[in-house]
Amino acid sequence: MSAQDRHVAAPTLPRLSPSRLEAWDRCPAAYRFEYVLRLPQPIGDQRPRLLGSVAHALLEDYLRETIRTGERPPLARVAAIASGLLEQDGVPGAGADLIREAVELVTRWLAQWTVPLESMVAVEHALAVDAGGQRVEWDAPEAFVRGRLDLVTVAGPQATVLDWKSGWLSEDEEGLRLAWAPALYAGLLWAWAPRLEEISVEYHYLRTGRITRVALTRAEAAETLRWARALASRIATALAAPDDPGAFPPRPSTACATCPWVNRCSAGQAALEGMDERPIPDDAEARRLAGLLLAGEARVSRLRERLKQYLGDRAPLTLD
């Protein structure tokens, strides 16, 4: 590590996860709303997060049982796991309808899954590294990047990290290579199992069955960790002034369309107003906008049903 790296990797760096790094990279203003001010998300925006949490919980229990017994349980086991989640309030805020939707997503994905049982080695694998990329305990004071790997499979000198995605939006291979999480996952896994020669990361989209895969090198993982240290230094500077919005500048983009904080952000609202006036530049943006449209239509449908349930026999609402 160079003298410059040692300076950047000072103990004052905040402890981060791949998702937090991506959140800052996407929009520092949204990062402040969620992680610094810890503002409650609007109720309507919590459903995608809750759906992802339930789907992850179902897959975790199912796959832990698979590894423990050495054979795949019947798909009906997913519904039984879900019943336990509902009875025990395993995911606070998740109701019966949402849990049923998660069961459908997970069952459909498992029905087409072909990963060999003997290659599965860890589920929800919690790993941490210090600023130099060395493995440390999860709660160690020097832990810098921490991450939970949804599923790790190993075949000889090669390993794969599988990451579940329950939303409508998906990344292509180029987008996956530019994201923070894949290379950081690879770095975490290499710190845990340094004899591995190759690590791939796969995003599994439960709604569509699509799988996006990227193979990573040690050099790419190390370079991403260096970038993470530099970014963490900027985050630390901003965190020193948590009450100053100027330390957390907004970064308007098409992501504003699904941001739960957009009503608090004038830059995000302006971005949405101008978004419809710009031509679509390429296929990648067209796919992204199509995903936003699907997500928006699904949300409108849910809101319509909630309003119907509320109104019932009540008089029609008068809107100001």
Q: What's the pTM?
A: 0.80
CA atoms within 13 Å, Cβ hemisphere of 152: 26
Predicted pLDDT at 24: 96
Are 92 and 143 in contact, with CB atoms under 8 Å apart? no
Tell me the per-residue pLDDT of 223-280, one tens digit each, with 9 for 90 and over: 999 999 999 999 999 999 999 999 999 999 878 887 888 888 999 888 888 766 667 7
Predicted pLDDT at 43: 57
Q: Residue 127's Cα: distance from chain center in Å? A: 16
CA distances from 137 to 24, 141, 188 (A): 25, 9, 12
Predicted pLDDT at 318: 65
Return per-residue pLDDT of the chain as tens, 320 residues. 444 444 444 448 999 999 999 999 999 999 999 999 999 876 556 778 888 899 999 999 999 999 999 999 999 999 999 999 888 877 887 788 888 999 999 999 999 988 889 999 999 999 999 999 999 999 999 999 999 999 999 999 999 999 999 887 778 888 888 888 999 999 999 999 999 999 999 999 998 889 999 999 999 999 999 999 999 999 999 999 999 999 999 999 878 887 888 888 999 888 888 766 667 777 777 776 776 677 666 667 666 776 777 777 777 766 54
Measure the CA–CA gap between 298 and 167, rounded to whole angstroms: 11
Predicted pLDDT at 175: 84
